[in-house]
């Protein structure tokens, strides 16, 4: 027999094999119902701040190493190719919830029919990106960067994904223990 706690947990779309609409519905619902409580959980605020800081450092490295200008040129003149439709399928609901906890409004529909759900006219619309996105360097980009730049970028992205992992574990633990 299921108690009510078990049935709430079982109703959560955990894992990636759910529709984006379903994952978004739950991420938004949980944020509205429990966002403040999640953020007030022990250590949660510092985990969010550490992740936010690591994300900012990755973007700072991407700007200073010329990645942003290179990718902007690619997106404008060659259509880009790395934020394609289907990448959003790698996102699970807790990662979407983390975006809400970090102040991001999640898009309700796809802007580019051939692009990732989270791609907007100026690029990526979300803050907490999947490891696939953070780590991706195409051949063209790699050949434009010095070895030192690739190493520096790699260090920033490792810091970001480590901080994201720690926050995601804490959020999942909160969901399991508190719903």
Per-residue interface string for the shown chain with ligand SF4, residues 109-128, x marking contact by CB under 6 A: -------x-xx----x-x--
For residue 84, the SS3 value is: strand
Residue for token digits 């250590």?
Answer: 43
90 binds ligand SF4 (CB under 6 A): no
Nearest to ligand SF4 of 50, 145 (CB atom): 145
Q: How many CB atoms lie within 10 A of CB 99?
A: 21
Q: Residue 72 and residue 75: Cα distance in Å, rounded?
A: 5
Least separation, in Å, of the C-beta of 60 and ligand SF4? Answer: 17
Q: What are phi and psi of 99, to 5 degrees?
A: -60, -45
> Segment contacting ligand SF4 (CB under 6 A): 33-41, 56-64, 77-85, 149-157?
77-85
Q: Which of 141, 152, 158, 179 binds ligand SF4 (CB under 6 A)?
A: 141
Binding range to ligand SF4, per CB under 6 A, among 22-30, 38-46, 133-141, 153-161: 133-141
Query: What tokens appear for 30 in the block?
Result: 């949980």
Among 44, 75, 145, 158, binds ligand SF4 (CB under 6 A): 75
Tell me if 91 sits within 8 A of 13, measured CB to CB.
Answer: no
Block residue for tokens 């508190």: 178
- How far is 157 from 34, CA to CA, in rounded Å? 29
Q: List interacting residues with ligand SF4 (CB under 6 A).
A: 70-71, 74-75, 80-83, 87, 116, 118-119, 124, 126, 129-130, 133, 138, 140-141
């Amino acid at each position: 027999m299921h108690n009510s706690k078990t049935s709430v947990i079982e109703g959560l779309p955990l894992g990636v094999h759910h529709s984006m609409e379903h994952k978004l519905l739950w991420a938004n619902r949980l944020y509205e119902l429990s966002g403040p409580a999640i953020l007030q959980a022990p250590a949660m605020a510092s985990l969010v701040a550490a992740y936010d800081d690591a994300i900012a450092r990755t973007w700072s490295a991407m700007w200073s190493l010329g990645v942003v200008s290179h990718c902007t040129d690619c997106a404008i003149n060659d259509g880009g190719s790395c934020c394609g439709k289907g990448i959003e399928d790698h996102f699970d609901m807790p990662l979407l919830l983390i975006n809400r906890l970090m102040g991001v409004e999640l898009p309700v529909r796809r802007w580019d029919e051939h692009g990732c759900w989270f791609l907007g006219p100026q690029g990526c619309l979300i803050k907490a990106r999947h490891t696939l996105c953070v780590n991706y360097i195409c051949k063209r980009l790699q050949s434009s960067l010095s070895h030192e730049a690739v190493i520096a970028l790699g260090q920033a992205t490792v810091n970001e994904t480590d901080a994201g992992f720690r926050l995601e574990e804490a959020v999942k633990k909160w969901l399991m223990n508190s719903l």
